[in-house]
A = this chain, B = another copy of it.
Amino acid sequence: MDLGQHPSVKRAVLAALEEDIGRGDVTSTVTLPPHLMGTAVVLAEAPCVVAGVFLAPVVFAAIDSRVATECLVADGAPVGPETAVVRIWGAAAAILAGERVLLNFLQHLSGIATFTRRFVDAAAGGSAVIVDTRKTTPGLRLLEKHAVKMGGGVNHRFGLDDGILIKNTHVALGGGTDAVVRRACAAAPAGLRVQVECRGAAEVEAALAAGADSLLLDNRSVEEARELVRLVAGRVPVEISGGVTLENVAAYAATGAARISIGALTHSAPAVPLHLRIEAAG
């Protein structure tokens, strides 16, 4: 299913339009000549990885079915400054009514793709892929995880229902690593692997002995992480998370871990600037 057709994406677009347009665009009503048609482009102002251009037709279809849009670059493409990424034809009032919502999506998703790309590039020398987390903006998870992929990242589980990740909390509430991991391995749905968070060598060995399919090392220093990855010795894949920055990601990626998960990809990526320019009207 095309992501732009996914029910949760369509709902997100409609919610955004309703909160921005409300009962109608007063400014256009009191300033524009009636029946004015126009052509516009959306321009990326600075170099970035673009994500979300496929939302342009979704946004404008909800406003005025007679507006036409063309995506000028593919999602995930790196673009230079002042690059046109979407072109729009239609009633000027309709173009302006959808402008801000489309830009808000594009600046946010392209921000995530661009920020992810920086981590991916910084970690390029190591063995680890860059993955996202569930620390996403409420209502936008599918789109944000898509943006991570556009930036070269890899998606972790999408929710609590399509992956098992046993954290310290579960271990503490459930009676210790051994008991909890054994119970989980026995009860896990057949299609799901069991990942276990470990804080040190003892927990690593306990988790592996109990049947863990992969491990998570959270908030470990580079040195600790390297040590624990060495201890695992390839028996299962290891993921690192917590405290990863653009400065230290290369060091973490060089520990031999398979994955580095970074919440900031989705919760703290700065927006990239884009704007809409009217090219012609009449």
A residues sitting closer than 8 Å to B (CB atoms) are: 1-3, 5-8, 11-33, 36, 38, 62-65, 92-94, 96-97, 100-101, 103-105, 107-108, 111, 131, 134-142, 154-167, 169-175, 180, 183-184, 187-193, 195, 214, 237, 239, 258-259, 263-264, 267-268, 270-271, 276, 278, 281
Contacts and interface: CB of A to CB of B under 8 A. Distances in A.
14 contacts: A19-B158, A20-B160, A30-B183, A31-B166, A31-B170, A31-B173, A32-B170, A32-B174, A100-B134, A101-B138, A158-B161, A162-B192, A190-B214, A191-B193
A16 B156 CA distance: 17
A22 B184 contact: no
The 5 closest A-B pairs by CB, nearest first: A163-B191, A16-B138, A22-B161, A267-B271, A162-B162
A210 B32 CA distance: 16
B8 A15 contact: yes
B267 A268 contact: no
Contact of A158 (B5, B11, B23, B237): B23
B15 A164 contact: no
A107 B267 contact: yes
Contacts of A175: 33
A97 B173 contact: no
Given A1-B24, A111-B267, A192-B192, 4 more contacts: A1-B21, A23-B162, A30-B188, A32-B173
A173 B138 contact: no
A278 B173 contact: yes
Contacts of A23: 6, 22, 142, 158-159, 161-162
Given A188-B30, A193-B192, A140 B139 contact: yes
Contacts of A94: 1
A204 to B, nearest CB: 18
Contacts of A29: 187
Contact of A140 (B14, B101, B138): B138
Contact of A65 (B5, B14, B26, B193): B5
Nearest to A7: B18
Contacts of A187: 29-30
A31 B12 CA distance: 29
A61 to B, nearest CB: 10
Contacts of A31: 166, 170-171, 173-174, 180, 183-184
